[in-house]
Amino acid sequence: MARLINARATAVWLVDNTTMTFKQIADFVGMHELEIQGIADGDVAAGVRGFDPIANNQLTQAEIDKAEGNPLYRLKTKPNPAAEGEEKRRGPRYTPLSKRQDRPASILWLVKFHPELADAQISKLVGTTKPTIQAIRERTHWNIANIQPIDPVALGLCKQSELDAAVQKAAAKKAAEGEVMDDDARRKLVSTEQSLEMDSEPRIPTAIEGLETFSLSDDDDEEDNDPIVDADSFFNLPSGDDDEQPR
């Protein structure tokens, strides 16, 4: 159902000019039934002037007559051809003037950390144009030297859920195409068969790798014939006999 213009004032008019139930009016205007009762009692919306839904092309008299004759009937708004498809309209997200200067930084962040995102997805996330995205991708933007990548979620240009959904959608598309993403993306979007056919990546040995099999040979034991040094000789401490010698 389309949104009403000034729903509370419409409820006031329906309470004053019809015999519909409070629930019928509440369901139609999107309010609670107790609020409609409060309007009837004068406790809610005091001083609000009623808004005629018939004169403003939101309801028809025939529709009101049906509702008055059947307490279970739910009112339906009058269709407006001019509003068809309004909610499905697609385009760049509106960005407030105070945040438009932050869009290049968010675009650079998305291009750098999520290269799998298409230009259309970035444009929808931060509300920009494809030429701007292309200029930042190719580093031909007029201010590219001063732009630092910043997370668009931190800048308030989009929600984390929207960013995650866009990344997952791009990842699924690349997985369907069998494309392997680079290491910066931190994921391998390939099937199991493709991953098994790929060359294994070289491993960097750790500092303790191989030490578990290391052992001294018999020759090393025999060659280790260094004399055992006691603590007194090591620290050059005088023995007890030296103290007894006459001075």
Distance of CA 207 to the CA centre of its chain: 40
Please give the single-letter amino acid code of residue 51: F
As a whole number of Å, the end-to-end CA separation of the chain is: 116
Q: How buried is 233 (Cβ within 10 angstroms: 0-12 exposed, 13-18 middle, 19+ buried)?
A: exposed
Cα–Cα nearest to 77, from 32, 10, 21: 10
What is the reported pLDDT for 13?
Answer: 92
CB 169 within 8 A of CB 117: no
- How far apart CA 67 and CA 73 sit, in angstroms, is 5
Q: What is the pLDDT along the chain (247 residues), one digit of tens a residue?
A: 556 778 888 999 999 999 999 999 999 888 888 988 888 888 887 788 888 888 888 888 999 999 999 999 998 887 766 555 545 555 556 666 667 788 899 999 999 999 999 999 998 898 888 999 999 999 999 999 999 999 998 888 888 888 999 999 998 888 887 655 554 444 434 444 444 455 544 444 444 444 444 444 445 444 455 555 555 555 565 555 555 555 4
Distance CA 110, CA 91 (A): 19
Please list the alpha-helical segments (H only) found in 84-213. Answer: 103-113, 119-126, 130-137, 152-155, 160-177, 192-197
> In the numeric block, which tokens belong to residue 87?
């909610």
State how far the alpha carbon of 95 is from the alpha carbons of 45, 75, 150, 155, 226, in Å. Answer: 34, 36, 16, 11, 79
How far apart are the C-alpha atoms of 69 and 78, rounded to whole Å?
Answer: 19
Report CA torsion sign: 111, 113, 114, 116: positive
**In sequence order, which residues have a C-beta less than 8 Å from that of residue 194 and are 6 or more positions away?**
178, 180
- In the prediction, which pLDDT does 234 show? 54
Phi, psi of 186 (to 5 degrees): 60, 40
Parse the chain into domains and list their residue ranges.
7-83, 97-177
Q: Give, in degrees to the nearest 5, the angle at Cα 148 between 143 and 154.
A: 125
CA distances from 34 to 11, 20, 237 (A): 12, 15, 98
